[in-house]
Amino acid sequence: MTMNWEALYSERLGSMTTSVIREILKVAQSPEVISLSGGWPEADLFPTEQLQEVAAHVMRETPREALQYGLTDGSIGLRQLLAEQMQAQGVPAGPENILITSGSQQALDLLGRILLDEGDCVIVEAPTFLGAVQSFKAYGPRFVPLPLDGDGACVELLPELISRHKPKLMYLLPTFHNPAGVCLSLERRRRAVEIASEMGVPIVEDDPYGQLRYSGEPLPTLAALDSARCSAHGPRLGNTVIYLSTFSKTLTPGLRVAWAVAPVDVVQQLVMAKQGADLMTSSLSQEIAAEFIRRGWLPGQVARIRDTYRLRRDAMCAAIDDFFPSEASYYRPEGGLFLWVTLPEGLDATALLAEAAVHQVAYVPGQPFFVDGRGTNTLRMSFASVPPETIREGVRRVGEVFKAHL
């Protein structure tokens, strides 16, 4: 008998992006197409030679640690280094507050496992990071959208949403949002932490792009503001915000090393969940990341990445100003990898993607990033993995397509 797999899949799976988009984005992989659709970092910026040196060192000096099973929490050396890094950012975490995960993507899944039951409510920004929705979805929650604008999530709406929906958690991307590129303003950051703490709803702060600032003033993380509220009598880690970050955008995603910062009890629950998921994050990757930090190479690497992406961000903004119809609007990102465009009502970015593909250029339509199905007239473009002159040509082609439909 042939197995009917379709009938066996969990009803929770659902489809994340429409097959139409998936089919068109496949076209984007062809070398002739200028792809502004990817979310991958520029591979030319990976510190390949430094990583080769560090990897050789680790294999020579500490092969037994690097190749053996390790603690589920993560290597104590790396957690210590990350705790110091967090402290320098105003988050008084110790190694016991840190869990190393196999990418932040895994942290999202583990948080879903320990916090969500079928039918629980999760507040997410509209738009939000698809990967988070995908991870949480496996645990059967309802999503409640929180709109955002150029200053990030409209947190002033939170008290009403929280009272009405009694959410288990809020998932926020305050710094260089994926997909919207925006930053939550300082005032809204303070308000978000205040509301979360007073109304007893934790915030998961996802911060993969925080180091990638190209202009403007740095802002404190929600985790730092949360800790500041709890530190009247000396430094204390806050207990409202669970903070996530990763080496994927600063070093390389191939290492799969990321970290979560949380109160000790939460870390312990996450450790139990991680035991069931993958036992531990690769020891070899953790040793490499730790040695890279010990050598003091991270700041230089981040500075190099920033310089390249800043030029690309500028190229994309200039090209949009020159080639997009004036009716389209966008947020100028101060960091991160993405830029978010809103077209006039009535234009459908998914339908127009097919036409863009004919002109050998691709972007990502915005609708799938909304949990409420809105956003048909929005799109995300990435400036990360294409050089400035190619960005300009890509944006010009996209602009032509949009202009033809106005």
Q: Which residues bind ligand PLP (CB under 6 A)?
A: 39, 103-105, 129, 131, 173, 178, 206, 208, 246, 248, 253, 258
Between 103 and 375, name the residue whose CB sits nearer to ligand PLP: 103
β-bridge pairing 121-126 and 142-149: parallel
| CA–CA dist 49, 373 (Å, integer) | 45
Between 92 and 335, whose beta carbon lies closer to ligand PLP?
A: 335
- For 314-321, the CB contacts below 8 A with 24+ separation are 314/388, 315/383, 315/388, 315/389, 315/391, 315/392, 316/36, 316/381, 316/383, 316/391, 316/395, 318/392, 319/391, 319/392, 319/394, 319/395, 319/396, 319/399, 320/395, 320/399
Nearer to ligand PLP, 131 or 344 (CB): 131
Cα–Cα distance, 366 to 184 (Å, whole number):
20
236, 165, 233, 240: which is closest to 204 by C-alpha?
240
Of 215, 193, 228, 267, which Cα lies nearest the Cα of 89?
228
> C-beta of 312: minimal distance to ligand PLP in Å?
17
Report the nearest approach of ligand PLP to the CB of residue 54 (Å): 19
> Nearest residue by C-beta to ligand PLP?
103
Least distance in angstroms from the C-beta of 371 to ligand PLP = 15
- The smaller minimum CB distance to ligand PLP, of residues 35 and 197, is found at 35
- Minimum CB distance to ligand PLP, residue 60 (Å): 28
| Residue with Cβ nearer ligand PLP (40 or 235) | 40
Nearest distance in Å: CB 110, ligand PLP = 12
What are the C-alpha distances in Å from 60 to residues 55, 65, 66, 69, 291?
Answer: 9, 11, 10, 18, 13
- CA–CA separation, 243 and 380 (whole Å): 25
CB neighbours of residue 98 within 10 Å: 25
Rounded to a whole number of angstroms, the minimum distance from the CB of residue 253 to ligand PLP is: 5
- CB-wise, 42 or 400, nearer to ligand PLP? 42
Looking at the Cβ atoms of 72 and 128, the one nearer to ligand PLP is 128
Q: How many residues does the chain have?
A: 406
Q: Cβ of residue 132: shortest distance to ligand PLP, in angstroms? A: 7
